[in-house]
Amino acid sequence: MAKIVGAITTSHVPAIGGAIAKGLQNEPYWKPFFDGFPPVRDWLAKVKPDVIVLVYNDHGLNFFLDKMPTFAVGAAPEYRNADEGWGIPTVAPFKGDPELSWHLIEQLVAEDFDLVTCQEMVVDHAFTLPMALCYPDTNWPVRVVPVCVNTVQAPLPSAARCYKLGQAIGRAIAKWPGDERVVVMGTGGLSHQLDGERAGFINKDFDLKFMDSMVHEPAWATRYSTTELVELSGTQGVELLNWMVARGTLPAKVEKKHANYYIPISNTASGLMVLEPAA
Beta-ladder partners of 80? 122
DSSP single-letter state for residue 237:
G
Give buried/exposed letters for 119-135 (b at 16+ CB in 10 A, else e).
eebbbbbbbbbbbbbbb
- Of 59, 125, 216, 258, which is the active-site residue? 125
**Whole-angstrom distance, CA of residue 267 vs CA of residue 44:** 29
Examine residue 264 and say whether the peptide bond preceding it is cis (omega within 30 degrees of 0): yes
Phi-psi label, residue 11: left if phi above 0, alpha if psi -120 to 50, beta otherwise: beta
125 carries an active-site annotation? yes
For 253, phi then psi, to 5°, come to: -100, 125
CB neighbour list of residue 34: distance below 8 Å, 6 or more residues apart: 19, 25, 26, 133
Using DSSP, state whether 209 is helix, strand or coil. helix
CB 270, CB 13: distance < 8 Å: yes
Q: How far apart are the first and last CA of the chain?
A: 18
Cα separations in angstroms, 112 against 19, 76, 115, 153: 42, 22, 9, 22
103 carries an active-site annotation? no
- Of 12, 59, 103, 192, which is the active-site residue? 192
- Long-range CB pairs of 218-222, under 8 A, 24+ apart, other chains included: 218/163, 218/247, 218/248, 218/250, 218/252, 218/254, 219/160, 219/163, 221/159, 221/163, 222/158, 222/159, 222/160, 222/163
Which amino acids are annotated catalytic? 125, 192
